[in-house]
Structures are given as structure tokens and as C-alpha cells.
Amino acid sequence: MKKVFLLSLLVALCMPACAQQSAEDAATQDKQTVQDPAERNKMLYSLGFLLGDNLKHQLVLDNEDDYKAVSQGMRDSLLNKSSQTDLEKYKPQIIEKYQQDAKIINERHMAEQKEFLENFAKEKNVKVLENGAMIKLSKKGKGRTPSASSKVKVHYEGKLIDGTKFDSSYDRNAPFTTVLTNVISCWTKGVQQMRPGAKATLVCPAETAYGNRPAGIIPPNSALIFEVELLEVED
């Protein structure tokens, strides 16, 4: 269980912005800033926030007493104090809680995905494609639509349904070029509905995206939202 928790923490910490920082950038970081007490406190607070954010995605903590108990246990451990409980006695209950809470969290997640997809499908001018992906054009383009084997150049931004951004070619200031057979099926079908210059919201049910596989900060079984701008159809 410790290995799973630590792996999850590393995933939470390795956000796209962190991944883009080179080793050279880290090596040349201002030492005075790192040693500044105020900056150190901010860094440690950020670490604590990420730990908490990661924990709440694994456990169901329902009230203030739950938070206080977990917080006190972490505090005692970090301060090298003796445990106030028989840890071996409670390990089976901890494992059981992780297992039960995982089911509850997954059920909530699936219900939220279902509700979002149903509501988006009801919006005006939304087209539901044969694979379940949905597209809503906000700007019509001109020219020919691409085929599945076409190479296209696009700008895009990808978010989870809660608004968490996981990728953006706009942020990199670098359009993305790909053959439509090399991307998720949502894109393969969705971008074929666009003409150069078009902009659209592309909503991808999990089965048209990454399914039950996690992908970076994207949890398993997640619907995805892409704002896509088709710049060119290259062939």
C-alpha cells in the first residue's frame, strides 16, 4: 500500500509544467530563493496541499473529525512521536477502507461522467458521432474536410470535466501535427467533421479516449473536453 501511495504521489507531483522543466533549469535555479525561509514554507505548503489533494482522490473523508484524525496521525509520524494506536491491529481495516473507498470514488466518478455527457448531448448544435464522441462547432471553416488518413495541423486545449487542464498546444505556442489514424478515436472521428479555420468543442467519452487506463493526470474512465482549432489539412 505504501508503494501505491508513493507512486500516486509522484504522479500527482509530475504535472505537465514540472515535466517540461529541464534538468539544467533545476540545476541553475537561484539558490538564494531555495534557501529563503518564506519560499521554503511556500514550497512545503505546496507539497502538503498536493499530498492532501492526492489523498482525497483515494479516500472518502466525510467530516472534520476524519480530517483531524488523519492530520494528527501524519503530524505524529513526521515529528517522530510514538503512535497513539496499535498500527498492526488497524492495518487490515486501513486496507479494507482503501478498497471500499475506491469503489465509492469510482461510482461517483462514473455518475459524474454520465451526467456531464448526457447534459452536453442536449446542448444546441451538438452532433453525436457514430462512436459516441460529440462535437459542437463554434466557427465554421472553409475548404475540404480531412479523411481518417489525412495529416492535420491543429491547436488544442484538453481539460477534464471538472475544468482541470491536462494539455495545451497554445501554452507551448506550437501547433500539433498528426495523422488522424494516430490519435484517439474521438479525434479521428471528430476532426473529420471540421474544415480548415474551424473551431470546435470536442467531447470524448472515456471509451473514445483512454478508456480505463490512466494517462498522466487523467484518471481512468475519464471523459475529456478538447477545444480544437483546425489550422491545415496537409494532405
Which amino acids are annotated catalytic? Answer: 156, 166-167, 184, 210, 226
C-alpha of 220 from chain center: 9
Helix axis angle, 2-13 relative to 37-56, nearest 10°?
120
Is 234 within 8 Å of 147 (Cβ atoms)?
Answer: no
Residues 6+ apart with CB under 8 A from 120: 126, 134, 136, 203
Q: What is the DSSP letter of 215?
A: B
Q: How far apart are CA 94 and CA 100, in angstroms?
A: 10
- Tracing cell 483512454 back to the chain, one arrives at 210
Q: How far apart are CA 18 and CA 82, in angstroms?
A: 36
Is 98 within 8 Å of 59 (Cβ atoms)?
Answer: yes
Is 121 within 8 Å of 133 (Cβ atoms)?
Answer: no
